[in-house]
Each structure stands twice: as C-alpha cells, then as structure tokens.
Amino acid sequence: MPPIVPLDVVWVIIEHLFQLDPASVKTCSLVCHAFLPICRRHIFGHIRVKDDNDVRKFHQLLSDTPIIGIYIRKLNLPYEMALSTADADSKVLGKITGLRFLCIGNLVSLRSGVVTFGKLTGPPWHQYPLRWAVLHFFSLQFFTTLELNGVLDFLVADLAPCKNLNLLIRAVGFTTDIPPNIQCPPINVGKLHIENLTRSVGMHMWGAKCADGEPFMNVSSLTELSFQYDINTLQDMLDMFSHCRQLVTLELNVENCITTGLARLFTNGATPKTLKKLDIFIVYDNDRSDDPFCGLVDEIKQMNAENVIEEITIQVYILSGLDRTRHDKWGRLDEALARSEWSQLHRVSLKIVVGQDADDVAVQAFHTDFPKFPITQYPLLSSTSSLVFDFQVYPEDVWWNLSSDWEDWEDY
C-alpha cells in the first residue's frame, strides 16, 4: 500500500533524515516499495571502494542488483590494486550510468596541513585494471568532476569524451598522447585544482593540441583556479594564469618561496577583470625568511590599481616561530590593504595557523601576542567601515578540522 503522505513530501523528509542520521535511511527503505528508489538514491549515492576486496564486493553487488548502478553519482576507486584486468570486469561497472564525480587514488597521509603521498608505486595508467570502466564514465552525459591522486603516466587523450570538466590533481604524472588526427572539440575546464605542480602537468595539460591546432583543454572559460607551487614551478603557474579569461576565484598555495609571484600575475593587464576572490595559503619557515607573508605585502603594493577583487583570504601556516621583536612584519599588511586603490574590497580574512611542530616562540605568540593583533597590528583594517576584517588564530589540529573540505568538489 503506498504511503498516504505525498511522495514529494517523503522525498524531502528522507533528504533531511539522511543529513541527520544516514544509517536510518536503510531502515526507511524497508517500509514499502515506493520508498525504495528514494532511499537508494542516498544509500548508494556515494560509494567508496578502498582496496581489492572492496572492488570484488562492489562487482558482486552490481552483478546481483544492476539497478543500483543508476543511483551512483559519486565513486571513489583505489589506484594501486593487485587485481588483473580480467578480475576487474569493466562491463559490470558499465551498469553505472549516472556518475558525476570520480576519484581515483587515495590520500596517504597529512603532514603540516599539506596533503602528502607515499612513494608512487602503482602501475602506469595504461595498465590500470579499471581503466576501461573509467573511460566509460568519461563518456556519461552528466559526468563533470575528476579527482586524480598519485596516478602515474595518465594519458591525457583519455579525457577526450569529456565535454565540460572540473579537475582536482594531486601528485599526478601525465603523458601527452594526443593522436595527430583526433577530431574532438576542446574540453572546457570549469574548475582546476593542482597540487604538487610540475612542468609535466603544465606541458601536458595546457600544451596539448588537437588536429586543428586548438588547445585540447580549453581553460579560457576557467572560473576557479587553485595552485600549489614552489620556487621551481612559479613560472608554470604564471603560464597557466595567462590563459585564463573568466577567472572568478584564484587560490595560491605557496611553499618554500621567498615570493608569492602575485605581483607578476597582475602586471601588463593580464589579470581577468572578472576576478573577485583571492585566497592565499603560505607555509612559513623561519629558516628561509623573516617575512611571514613571503613578500606578499610588497607585491600587493605593486598590483595594478584598477583591480576589482572583492574578497581576500590569507592563511599563514607557521612551521617555526618569528622573532617576537619583529611584529612590524605582520603589521605591514594593514596599510597595504587599507589603501583607496582597493575600492571594491569588502572583506579581508587573515588566519594564522600554528603548526604542531612549531617552536616555543610561535607557541608563546599564539597565547599572548597573536590575539591582540587586530588592535596592535591591524588598526586600519579593524576600523574601516567599508570592509569586514576577520582575524583568527588556530592550532593546527583545530584548523585542519575546520578546513578539511576536499569533498566540496563532489557537489559539482
């Protein structure tokens, strides 16, 4: 007997129930046949396959109940597997027809607020047992987001079936194998997040061409760009930025640099007039510089006056402590951002993160000095009525829990 309550209302109730108590949705699926499709959408909406054993179980599940494949929208697959191609039956995974988000490879560890990987020992991409199933996913109508973690020699041409794509890349090697006669429209990249940027990524991602000479991956319509780079790959980041025309959000993750390279992005009119949000994450090491902002303040002063940035977020992760007598290095940001040239700026966020391995000077500053900074170092930003100044100080463990948003991309 169907429920008396309209199914539209049941849908909303189960949607809220899944947010509060996901396990209870399984019980709801047993109430009646009408509830089953609604509950399956949540129960099987996101599948995480962690190892060979999970792969076998997942195959068996799809073989026994192939209809489940239409409910899977997000899928996480391991990269390093002992399975052979014969064991990994791609035809079974072909039952998945509504996939939107795919993650390949697992994060190994987290150190100092930065995602790190163990030694990359998996097979090259062309030997990946589930590669043919992945190619099927790329051709699906609603597939939009791909995350690659620690993949070796990824074949860029495999992305050819994609029309619009968001990419999240961590420690990935690429191989350009675009056939000279390939006939396909450029892939429109909407969002791009690159960690562990290498020259291989730059050359193969935005250097590959189709047969007609057009870029294989079109980043001119990119709206969100995120880079993790160091002094060795700064130029590659600048090259990538030069191709962007409609950028709205730019995130820079700077490590082991004495400069962020920000001023060079904003020279010669290269900055998109669409850019509204700027996020900068700086890993500060006292052994390299006494400037916690890695030259950022001087670069801000060099930026073109005609910018339309509305929001700036700066996070400084402290590996080792600053000389407590040099607090003026922190305060220089106050005057730089309170200038009249930043006419569109309405929000500035500064977050200081004290790492678990930071020395006693940084820990002492965390308790005594940093909380006073809005008054002692940032009086202009704190008192300006035209913008909101948000200042926060966190120990690493608290900050990491607040900022662990890697799965946000799964919503796209």
pLDDT the model gives residue 110 = 40
Same domain for 236 and 311, yes or no, is no
- What is the length of the chain? 412
Same domain for 289 and 396, yes or no, is yes
Type of residue numbered 315:
Q
pLDDT the model gives residue 111 = 40
CA–CA separation, 275 and 131 (whole Å) = 37
Same domain for 336 and 216, yes or no, is no
Same domain for 289 and 411, yes or no, is yes
- Residue 366: partners with Cβ closer than 8 Å, 6 or more residues away: 352, 354, 393, 395
63: tokens are 């073989």
CA–CA separation, 202 and 323 (whole Å) = 38
- Residue 138: partners with Cβ closer than 8 Å, 6 or more residues away: 146, 158, 159, 160, 161, 162
Same domain for 332 and 408, yes or no, is yes
- Residue 211: partners with Cβ closer than 8 Å, 6 or more residues away: 179, 180, 181, 182, 183
Answer yes or no: is 190 within a domain: yes
Q: Which segments within 162-232 are labelled E, that is strand?
A: 164-170, 174-175, 187-195, 217-218, 224-229
Q: Which segments within 327-368 are labelled E, that is strand?
A: 347-354
Answer yes or no: is 298 within a domain: no
pLDDT the model gives residue 70 = 92
Type of residue numbered 14:
I
Same domain for 88 and 129, yes or no, is yes
Answer yes or no: is 164 within a domain: no
CA–CA separation, 227 and 280 (whole Å) = 10
Same domain for 188 and 245, yes or no, is yes
Type of residue numbered 289:
S
Phi, psi of 238 (to 5 degrees): -65, -40
**Rounded to two decimals, what is the model's pTM?**
0.80
pLDDT the model gives residue 140 = 92
Instruction: Give yes or no for a contact between 63 and 88, defined as CB atoms under 8 angstroms apart.
Output: no
Mutual angle of helices 35-43 and 7-20, in 10-degree steps = 30
- Residue 2: partners with Cβ closer than 8 Å, 6 or more residues away: 32, 34
Cross-strand partners of 47:
75
pLDDT the model gives residue 175 = 67
CA–CA separation, 136 and 234 (whole Å) = 36
Same domain for 347 and 241, yes or no, is no
CA distances in angstroms from 5 to 2, 10, 37, 315, 406, listed in the order given? 9, 7, 16, 49, 37
Structural domain boundaries, residue 232: 173-275
Answer yes or no: is 211 within a domain: yes
Answer yes or no: is 162 within a domain: no
Same domain for 322 and 337, yes or no, is yes
291: tokens are 């400037």
- Measured at the CA of 367, the angle between CA 365 and CA 371, to 5 degrees, comes to 85
pLDDT the model gives residue 179 = 58
CA–CA separation, 391 and 141 (whole Å) = 43
* CA 407 distance to own-chain centroid: 8
Answer yes or no: is 163 within a domain: no
CA–CA separation, 117 and 110 (whole Å) = 8
pLDDT the model gives residue 254 = 77
* CA 154 distance to own-chain centroid: 19
pLDDT tens for the chain, residues 1 to 412: 555 767 777 777 777 777 777 777 777 777 777 777 888 888 888 999 888 888 888 888 888 889 999 999 999 988 877 665 555 566 788 889 999 999 998 654 444 444 444 445 678 888 888 888 899 999 998 999 999 888 888 888 888 888 889 988 877 777 655 555 566 788 888 888 887 656 556 566 666 777 777 778 888 888 998 887 766 677 777 777 777 888 899 888 876 565 666 777 776 556 677 889 999 988 877 666 677 887 888 888 877 555 688 999 998 888 766 554 466 678 888 888 887 778 888 999 998 888 776 666 666 766 777 888 888 889 999 988 888 999 988 877 665 655 544 444 444 4
Answer yes or no: is 158 within a domain: no
Same domain for 289 and 401, yes or no, is yes
Same domain for 36 and 75, yes or no, is no
Cross-strand partners of 225:
192, 250
CA–CA separation, 250 and 192 (whole Å) = 10
In the chain, the number of structural domains is 4
CA–CA separation, 224 and 247 (whole Å) = 6
Q: Which segments within 51-163 are labelled E, that is strand?
A: 74-77, 101-104, 109-111, 114-116, 145-149, 154-155
- Identify the sign of the CA torsion 124, 127, 133, 139: positive
Residue 349: Cβ within 10 Å count: 15
Answer yes or no: is 157 within a domain: no
- Measured at the CA of 29, the angle between CA 24 and CA 35, to 5 degrees, comes to 125
Same domain for 289 and 407, yes or no, is yes
